[in-house]
Amino acid sequence: MALSAGSPTVGRYIADHSYFCPVLATGLSALYSSLPRKIEIPGDDWHCLRREDWLGVPALALFMSSLEFCNAVIQVAHPLVQKQLVDYIHNGFLVPVMGPALHKTSVEEMIASTAYLELFLRSISEAALLRTFLRFLLLHRHDTHTILDTLVARIGSNSRLCMVSLSLFRTLLNLSCEDVLLQLVLRYLVPCNHVMLSQKPAVRDVDLYGRAADKFLSLIPRCCRHRAPSPPRPEHASWARGGPSRESGRREDTTGPGSPSVDSSSVVTVPRPSTPSRLALFLRQQSLGGSESPAPTPRSPGLASSPASSPGRRPSPAEEPGPFMAVLFAKLENMLQNSVYVNFLLTGLVAQLACHPQPLLRSFLLNTNMVFQPSVKSLLQVLGSVKNKIESFAASQEDFPALLSKAKKYLIARGKLDWAEAPAAGPAPRRSDPLVKSRRPSLGELLLRHAHSPTRARQAVQLVHQPGRDSTGLGLGGGSPGASTPVLPPRGGAAERQGEALRVKNAVYCAVIFPEFLKELAAISQAHAVTSPFLLDTSEEGNIPLLSVFGPLSS
């Protein structure tokens, strides 16, 4: 193959007089048919296939070897061979095999096929092969719907299919491909029909004074702030513990072990700034028997289904921000009912979108002064709704402070264990991007590598219950079902108690995640204020060309 790159004669012979490319493409189809149709779920937090997962499955390891060989051939072969192999993979594998596999009726089969697709996208490094996969996702129609629309609708499900779909979109956004962002969000925002007519000139505005950051921080529920003081009353002045009390304001600085430490260099240069305490939330829970419990039924029927299935609550097509943002906002508004794993993936995806410097997307997510059409919800409105729900739950739960404290201690202890075992450096990025600098692996990525270790969970529980620590028995994240189940009054049957325990656990972990998410949004908005004026000239900022790094997908 390498010889064909420098010899047009050899390249034409392989392309025109051999069956090399058809055999490779049909081999992928044959190997895919032997893959397991159902994946054994190792834990509640599982959402994607890691290398250690698929190495233990001989059929999947064989398929990955074949895919890597195709990737290597496209990398070194003659352009004629490259084009022919890519066309055969698209027409002989993706369309006839992957398309129907992604539309199976069984949820287990849909989870498996989505996880396989995410693994393939994450493993491919050659732009030409990645481009044909993206063309299949963005342009191919199966039963009148594109593959992308089908995958977007599955984010609204209340099963592991939601987590696998969120993981897939996280991988797609990590590709930094403008075509993906255009199809998901920008094509709905470009007409600017989601904002009032008078607000269109404000799309390019940059928040230089931190008003958006202050607004996001003001949404932190009072029950989640560090020792939020009560209204000043003379008779309670002597009750303060541990030094002088803080002034009560809308914006509080938290410097405890659970608060994020945002490095100025990482905020400015990294497109996905991460706060260690928020990333430490994605960990292995072994509560309620260690198996996935069914999520409680949402109170609003519209939140449990895809936006396309509830036309009564959708804005008009001329005003909506698109199905992708609509389903993300609906899922975000339902944070109290989501598991901690769903919330981690969800908030990470929204933060990933907010990091993009495109003015349309930046103003839609981070401009808190933008006036939208009455039927279009802003991110600020969604976050305000979540804040009210958390405060309402905290008011109805007598032991909420103890539950919140125990959950934070467990998450911090678990994060320290994984951070102590972090490697010195992460893998090299797939391609260079002038706006994206290589970074060390985030704490969340390190936790994912050890997500299935019960030993680490037990060690975290031991740290929480060390002498001198609060051990009231109200923890949510222990290493065994007994240690991780909140203490609840005995009422109803076992199923009702289990459902109530799950509801309380999800709400408490949401109360831990939500403030850290708000702090990250505030940091991202401040990073935009620093970097945006220098990315493009003011005269050009309103007309940013949308070019694909992989070339036009429709060709």
Query: What are the phi and psi torsion angles at 142 (to 5°)?
Result: -125, 115
pLDDT (0 to 100) of residue 287: 33
pLDDT (0 to 100) of residue 372: 87
* Nearest of 238, 196, 207, 256 to residue 411 by alpha carbon: 256
CB 321 within 8 A of CB 194: yes
Rounded to an integer, what is the distance from CA 322 to the centroid of its chain? Answer: 18
Please report which residue ranges of 230-339 form alpha helices under DSSP H: 264-269, 276-279, 301-304, 323-333
DSSP secondary-structure letter at 280?
A: T
Rounded average pLDDT per 10-residue block, the chain, 555 residues:
83 89 94 93 87 90 96 92 95 95 94 96 95 95 91 91 96 93 93 85 84 94 72 41 37 38 37 37 34 36 35 46 94 94 94 92 90 90 96 92 88 70 43 39 43 49 48 39 40 78 92 95 92 57 43 51
For CA atoms 184, 283, 397, 289, give the dihedral sign.
positive
Residue whose entry in the numeric block shows the structure tokens 């704490």: 443
Q: How many Cα atoms sit within 13 Å of 1 on the Cβ side?
A: 15
Q: Which two tokens stand for residue 54?
A: 């698929």
What dihedral do alpha carbons 524, 529, 535, 541 form, nearest 10°? 110
- The pTM of the full predicted model, rounded to 2 decimals, is 0.72
pLDDT tens string 35-48: 999 998 888 889 99
Residues near 356 by beta carbon (within 8 Å), at least 6 away in sequence = 181, 271, 362
Q: Which two tokens stand for residue 39?
A: 């994946």
User: How far is residue 320's CA from residue 377's CA, in Å, rounded to a whole number?
Assistant: 9
pLDDT (0 to 100) of residue 533: 64
pLDDT (0 to 100) of residue 206: 84
User: How far is residue 126's CA from residue 129's CA, in Å, rounded to a whole number?
Assistant: 6
User: How far is residue 141's CA from residue 279's CA, in Å, rounded to a whole number?
Assistant: 36
Rounded to an integer, what is the distance from CA 157 to the centroid of its chain? Answer: 15
pLDDT tens string 216-231: 999 999 988 876 455 5
